[in-house]
Structure 1
Amino acid sequence: MSTRKVNLGPTAAIIAVVADIAACVIGLWVLMHLLDANEQNGLVEFLHDASRWLAAWSHDLFTFDEEWARVVCGYGLAAVVYLVAGNVIANRVRRY
């Protein structure tokens, strides 16, 4: 019985990089929101749209009275999940 390992290092790296980029985009949007960035700016608008799409499952999850708390918790949760899940999956793929 052969226990030949397949080199999936590049695949694992791609998974980790995509997850890290998604978390970074969400984190940048949270930072822009907290700094009260101009929402008419193209970069801010792109970050908001991308973050809204990436965090569609969590952006209205919490119902704090303060808007900044809702943004930090809702979008922050999505960023943490992308970081943790993406890197766990990448490590699993790498070990295969």
Structure 2
Amino acid sequence: MSPDRSGRGVGSLVAGVADVLALVLVLWIVLDLLDADRANDFVRFVHEVADWLAGWSRDLFSFDERWARVVAGYGLAAVVYLVVGHAVANLGRRRL
């Protein structure tokens, strides 16, 4: 495989991982806003993964409204994962 193709492959993989991480966070925001049943195994799994991914940002804001804290805390993490992941992917594509 040529260096150009391997760089694209690695970059695509990094971007794909960033997309999946952001998708999990956005899915949790939607489930929370729709008041999904937290006793459900799928909802609990998404919540646990989202909590782990957004551990650094989920309590960063102290809005009075709970929904605003969820959207801001988990949404910030999703945006950071997307921006950083795609920036790293683009750097990898250029250098390899």
TM-score band by shorter chain is: over 0.9
1:1-96 matches, within 5 Å, as 6-7=3-4, 8-96=7-95
Structural RMSD (CA): 1.0
Q: For 2:3, give the aligned amino acid.
A: V
Q: Tell me the percent identity.
A: 52
User: Which is helix-richer, 1 or 2?
Assistant: 2
* Deviation at residue 9 of structure 1 after TM alignment: 1.3
Q: Which structure would you say has the larger Rg?
A: 1
Q: Deviations over 1:30-79 (max 9, x none)?
A: 00000000001111101100000000000000001111000000000000
Aligned length: 92
Q: For 2:23, give the aligned amino acid.
A: C
Q: TM-score of the superposition, structure 2-length normalised?
A: 0.92
**C-alpha distance in 1, partners of 2:9/2:45?**
29
* Deviation at residue 10 of structure 1 after TM alignment: 1.0
Spell out structure 1 runs of 4+ moving beyond 2 A: none
